[in-house]
Structure formats: C-alpha cells, structure tokens
C-alpha cells in the first residue's frame, strides 16, 4: 500500500473531531452525533486548512470554530475540541479558558507530544483554578506537519535555512532547531506508521537530523505501547520498509533559486500559492480566490506540464466542453422538429431532458475548472511577458547544463526585463554555474546589479561560500584544518553545512542531483554518488557507524530537505516515480516550501548578518 500521508493525516483529524472515537467507514462519522466547538492556534489552523473545509466540519458536528487567541463567550452544554501546539502560552490560555468555564467539557489534542514539564504546568493550573474536572481527555496527536498533497508535506518551520546557517547561532540554538525538525519528522512517521531505514550524506544538518531521529525512534520502540505497528519479523522485512533520505539545502543550492516553466512550480513561484490557495485577478479586476488540490483534476494532471502545454490543454478542454453543451442542446431541441406521433415524441423529449438534467452538474463543474485555470493562466501569462520569465527559465537551464554563460549574455539579461529579484537569482545561478569565473566578469555582474538597485547581500553571501568551498577543495590535508578553523570563526555554524558536505554547489545534469541520489538510494546497489552515505536503522541499535548494513531495493521513499524545499524538486521526484516499472512511490517534504524569491531573501539575511552587500544605489 502506497504511503498516502495526506489521507492518513485527514483520518487522524476526523477521528479527533469525533472526540477520538472510532469513525464508521460507511458514514464517515462517529456512531453518536455530538455538536461541538473547535478551538485551534495559528499553526494548527494551517494544518487543518488544506485538509478540512467548512462543510467537512459541519459533517462532523463542529458548529463553531475559533482561533485560541480570539476573545470568546461561554457556550454551555457543548464540548470543545482543542487542537494546539504544546507551548507555554497555549497552556496558559487553556487554563484560563477552563477556569472561566467557557465550555461544558474540554477535549485537548496537542499537535505533538506535550513535554512533561508543560503537562505538569497544565495540571497545576487546572487544580489551582478548580477546573480539572472539565478536562475530558488529553491526546498527543503527532500531527506537527502540513500535508499539501498525497505525497507532499511541509513542517511549516519558517526561516530554517537562516537559523541553521546563522553565523551568530550558538550550539544550543542549533540543537533546538534540529530537535524541532526531528519532532516534525517523527510525527510524519507516526502518522504513516512506518519505521524507515534512514540514509543521509555525511556531515552538516542532514546528519544531525538523521542521528537524532534515529535515537528518538530507537527510544520510542523500547516502549510496549509504541506508535508503530509493523510485522514482528522486522529484520527479514527490511527491504519492504521505506527509505528516508535526508538532505540539507546546500546539497543542491541552485534548485532553490531557479525559474521553472512547469505549471505547479510556476504558479507557486509567481502567483504565491500558499496552503493550496491562490488569489488572482478575475476578468473584471476583482480578486478571486481558488483552491488547487486533489479535488481539481486539471491541477493534478497538468502540474508537471510546461506552461505552453497547459495553455493548449485549457483550450482543448474548453472546445470539448462547448461541443458537449451543443450536443445537450441539440438533443433537447432536435426532437421537437421530428414528425413522430405525439406519444413517441413526448417519450423521446422526456428522455433527452432527463439526460440533459443529469449531465448539467458535471458540465457546470467542468466549466468552473476551465474558468479557474483560464484565469490563472491569464495571470501567469501577464507576469511571464512583464518579467520575461520564459527567457530566464531557458537561459538558466542552458547555463546550468553548459556550466556557464558568456559575459555579454549575462549582462544583457541583467539589463533587460524582470524584477530585481529575478535578476539577483539569475546572477547567483551564474556565480555557481562554473567553477572558475574571471574576477572582471564578477565585477561586471555586481555593477549591473547595482545599476538595477538590487540588494547584493545574497550574491555576496554565495560568493563567500563558493570561495570557501574552493579553498577547502584545493587545500592540502595539512592546512585544511586551518581553513576550517578560520571558517568557523567567520561563519559560525554555517561551516557545518558547507565544508562538511561532500556535494558542492554545482549541478550540471538535466536531472537534479537530488533525484539522482534518491534513485540510487532506492536501487540499493553500489553507486559512487551515495556509497559514502550514512545508514541508520532504528530497529538495529548503534547502526549509525554503518554505510552498508542495509542493502537492497526500496519501493517507497520519503525524501526530506532540511532548510527549505520547492515544487521543482517535488515535480522532479514525481517524474522519477513515473519512469519506473514496477511503480515506485516517493513522498517529498521539507522544513518549509519556498519560492525562489523567499529563498533568496533568506540568503540576503545571512549576507547582512555577515556584513556583506546591502542596498546599492
């Protein structure tokens, strides 16, 4: 059975909405209908948003729903379902609500395991306010992630790349971030009910996350009532377990900034898709809000197509829709002109009318989907023309495949159409597309960015990182440690992500380095690209020293990017899955899903923290 994370998380949420009672598979609700109120914090609202709509809440007896921070009036004789992150602020508000007797009973659901000190604070507060009797149950739900598609998730952990690479970050701050990431990944695995084989490159945040996750899983598996329900003979079934491949954003930095011309990456990058929702201007200038999820067949089937193919597909579907409407009209009106007798005429008309009536809902739904994607495509086309995005995508692809671009061509691009961020992204990709670039060419690029009044902090940051990589690559083993010591002083924690990794910033091949690595890891055969990767098997204690204990093919993989992922990598991995026979299954997730502009903003923050670049006039 494929790992359908979205469905598993939805099932958990529905059970929670039904007061954690078993839900009938036929009715989709609990046996006993109970009207209730739902209270959530901002994070849990984001968890619910892509999965549960208002009609779904009503179906499960939720009549009112509020943010925790909102001022609320008491509602008597009604239970309240709370869905919150386990934080001190949330616990304080919970105690305040219970002490005011806002609701008849409180069903508390935490998005991850509530730490014992917080649980004690909750109990103390409830006892002191004489309100503990109002608490019906407390559940750890392990839902600390956002499912965007069946095989796409985010931990919604903002600015993670900055936090892990911040030169001023201390060891304690880094450990807290890694623990938070591990908590989110543990929730994903608990929801899926699988204990994977963990693989990652040596060094950097990827190894830190893999090692801590391995330890957390090992500790959890020691308890009798653990969350994982695989078969008893775990060693012999190792090849049937999924492989969890953990990478750090610096593994392939270029992808995070590319302009992509496929539909899903383009919509996310250009129009600001967030939590599967999008706002675009309609025909009359008014803003329209759209949902883009699995209920939209066009979005699911066309997400990996290049934009021109999408435009043709919309036109084709519109033509087919018009023909089907004409056919319905012809059938309902054609028989009125026939010479049949009155009885057969009436029967014929009735049949045609029934057919027309039955086809109306389907036709209406098709028209709504066509109109939606026509509006989205029109908005995209306007941005493509305004910013010359097709040119950026083509030139970046050529540049990464050729390993560079001539000076005249890049200056022409930087002086042409496009926003300042478009040009900055292109300049950074140029910087990392070739191993050696003449200093005069880099100066010319910097001058062109200055002419466009672009903040060059992100460019200067990557320039420093690239120089450091080059120094490490060329240094002898004797003075390499001196460079690392120097870099530690200059960059702080960021060196762990850059210097310790085996992969440099470059990616020439049309297939992403990430996709190649995942393909090799799923094959389970000897491959120079991944032979040095560490292997952690939580079911085998002390497995972290091995790079080869578990070999053999995996049909399923979970790929996780520490420091921010994107729709480009997601689509690339889905294309990999479709190429394989028999079919494989890959779930992709990241600390957050970022557009190219959002990622460059994080690079700029790091550059500013290091005193590089700044606003150029």
Structural domains of the chain in order of their starting residue, each with its CATH number: 5-142 (3.40.50.2060), 149-252+512-604 (3.40.50.1910), 277-334+344-387 (3.90.830), 390-468 (no CATH)
What's the pLDDT band for 259 if we cut at 50, 70, 90? very high
- For strands 534-536 and 556-562, give the pairing: unpaired
What's the pLDDT band for 614 if we cut at 50, 70, 90? low
What's the pLDDT band for 237 if we cut at 50, 70, 90? very low
3-state secondary structure of 365: helix
3-state secondary structure of 30: strand
Q: What is the pTM assigned to this prediction? A: 0.89
Asked whether residue 547 carries a pLDDT value surpassing 70, the answer given is no
Higher pLDDT, 528 or 583: 528
Asked whether residue 509 carries a pLDDT value surpassing 70, the answer given is no
Query: 153 Cβ partners below 8 Å, 6+ apart?
Result: 5, 6, 145, 146, 147, 188, 587, 588, 589
Spatial separation of the C-alpha atoms in residues 174 and 166, rounded to whole Å: 9
Q: Which of 282, 185, 250 is nearest to 563 (CA)?
A: 250
The backbone torsions φ and ψ at residue 15, rounded to the nearest 5 degrees and listed phi first, read: -60, -40
Once rounded to an integer, what is the mean pLDDT over residues 107-117? 96
**pLDDT digits 0-9 by tens, 122-146:** 999 999 999 999 999 999 999 999 9
The packing angle between helices 389-402 and 342-387, to 10°, is 60
Q: Which of 188, 156, 182 is nearest to 42 (CA)?
A: 156
pLDDT at 250: 92
Asked whether residue 150 carries a pLDDT value surpassing 50, the answer given is yes
Beta bridge partners of 306: 262
**pLDDT digits 0-9 by tens, 383-395:** 999 999 999 999 9
Spatial separation of the C-alpha atoms in residues 74 and 100, rounded to whole Å: 8
| 8 Å CB contact between 246 and 517 | no
| 8 Å CB contact between 604 and 456 | no
Per DSSP, 114 falls in state P
**pLDDT digits 0-9 by tens, 58-98:** 999 999 999 999 999 999 899 999 999 999 999 999 999 99
Query: 602 Cβ partners below 8 Å, 6+ apart?
Result: 159, 161, 162, 564, 594
Region at 61 (left for phi over 0; alpha for psi -120 to 50; beta for the rest): left
Q: Kindly report the three-state secondary structure assignment for every residue of 56-101.
A: HHHHCCEEEEEECCCCCCCEEEEEEEEEECCCHHHHHHHHHHHHCC
| DSSP assignment of 337-354 | GS---HHHHHHHHHHHHH
| 8 Å CB contact between 98 and 138 | no
3-state secondary structure of 453: coil
| 8 Å CB contact between 246 and 209 | yes
| 8 Å CB contact between 242 and 538 | no
| 8 Å CB contact between 283 and 290 | no
**pLDDT digits 0-9 by tens, 323-368:** 988 887 777 665 455 554 555 555 555 665 566 666 678 888 889 9
The backbone torsions φ and ψ at residue 315, rounded to the nearest 5 degrees and listed phi first, read: -65, -40
């Amino acid at each position: 059975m494929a790992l359908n994370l979205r469905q598993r998380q939805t099932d958990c949420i529905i059970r929670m909405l039904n007061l954690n009672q078993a839900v009938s598979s036929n009715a989709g609700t609990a046996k006993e209908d109970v009207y209730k109120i739902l209270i959530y914090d901002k994070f849990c609202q984001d968890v619910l948003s892509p999965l549960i709509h208002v009609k779904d809440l009503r179906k499960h007896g939720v009549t009112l729903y509020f943010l925790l921070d909102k001022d609320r009036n008491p509602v008597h004789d009604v239970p309240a379902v709370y869905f919150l992150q386990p934080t001190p602020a949330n616990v304080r508000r919970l105690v305040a609500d219970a002490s005011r007797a806002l609701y008849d009973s409180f069903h508390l659901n935490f998005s991850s395991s509530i730490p014992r000190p917080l649980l004690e604070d909750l109990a103390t507060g409830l006892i002191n306010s004489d309100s503990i009797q109002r608490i019906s149950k407390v559940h750890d739900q392990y839902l600390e992630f956002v499912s965007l598609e069946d095989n796409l998730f985010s931990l919604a952990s903002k600015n993670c790349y900055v936090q892990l690479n911040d030169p001023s970050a201390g060891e304690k701050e880094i450990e807290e971030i890694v623990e938070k990431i591990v908590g989110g990944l543990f929730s994903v695995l608990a929801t899926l009910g699988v204990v994977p084989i963990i693989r990652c490159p040596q060094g950097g945040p990827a190894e830190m996350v893999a090692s801590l996750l391995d330890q957390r899983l090992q500790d959890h598996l020691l308890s009798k009532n653990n969350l994982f329900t695989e078969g008893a003979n775990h060693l012999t079934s190792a090849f049937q377990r999924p492989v969890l491949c953990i990478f750090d954003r610096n593994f392939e930095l270029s992808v995070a900034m590319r302009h992509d011309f496929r539909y899903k990456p383009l919509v996310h990058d250009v129009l600001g898709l967030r939590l599967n929702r999008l706002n675009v201007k309609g025909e009359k200038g008014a803003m329209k809000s759209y949902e883009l999820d699995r209920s939209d067949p066009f979005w699911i089937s066309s997400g990996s197509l290049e934009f021109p193919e999408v435009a043709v597909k919309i036109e084709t579907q519109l033509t087919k829709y018009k023909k089907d409407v004409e056919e319905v009209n012809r059938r309902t009106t054609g028989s009125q002109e026939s010479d049949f007798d009155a009885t057969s005429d009436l029967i014929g008309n009735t049949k045609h009318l029934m057919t027309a009536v039955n086809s109306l809902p389907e036709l209406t739904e098709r028209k709504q989907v066509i109109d939606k994607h026509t509006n989205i495509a029109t908005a995209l086309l306007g941005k493509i023309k305004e910013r010359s995005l097709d040119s950026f995508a083509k030139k970046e692809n050529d540049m990464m495949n050729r390993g560079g671009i001539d000076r005249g061509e890049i200056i022409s691009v930087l002086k042409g159409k496009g926003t300042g961020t478009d040009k900055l992204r292109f300049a950074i990709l140029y910087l990392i597309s070739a191993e050696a670039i003449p200093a005069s060419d880099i100066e010319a690029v910097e001058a062109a960015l200055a002419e466009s009044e672009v903040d060059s902090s992100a460019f200067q940051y990557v320039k420093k990182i690239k120089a450091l990589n080059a120094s490490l690559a060329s240094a002898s083993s004797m003075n390499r440690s001196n460079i690392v010591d120097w870099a530690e002083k200059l960059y702080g924690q960021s060196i762990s992500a850059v210097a310790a990794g085996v992969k440099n910033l470059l990616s020439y091949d049309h297939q992403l380095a990430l996709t190649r690595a995942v393909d090799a890891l799923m094959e389970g055969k000897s491959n120079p690209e991944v032979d040095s990767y560490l292997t952690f098997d939580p079911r085998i204690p002390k497995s972290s020293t091995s790079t080869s204990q578990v070999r053999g093919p995996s049909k399923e993989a979970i790929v996780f990017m520490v420091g921010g992922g994107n729709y480009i990598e997601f689509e690339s991995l889905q294309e990999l899955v479709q190429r394989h026979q028999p079919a494989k299954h890959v779930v992709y997730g990241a600390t957050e899903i970022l557009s190219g502009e959002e990622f460059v903003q994080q690079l700029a923050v790091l550059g500013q923290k290091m005193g590089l670049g700044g606003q150029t006039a």
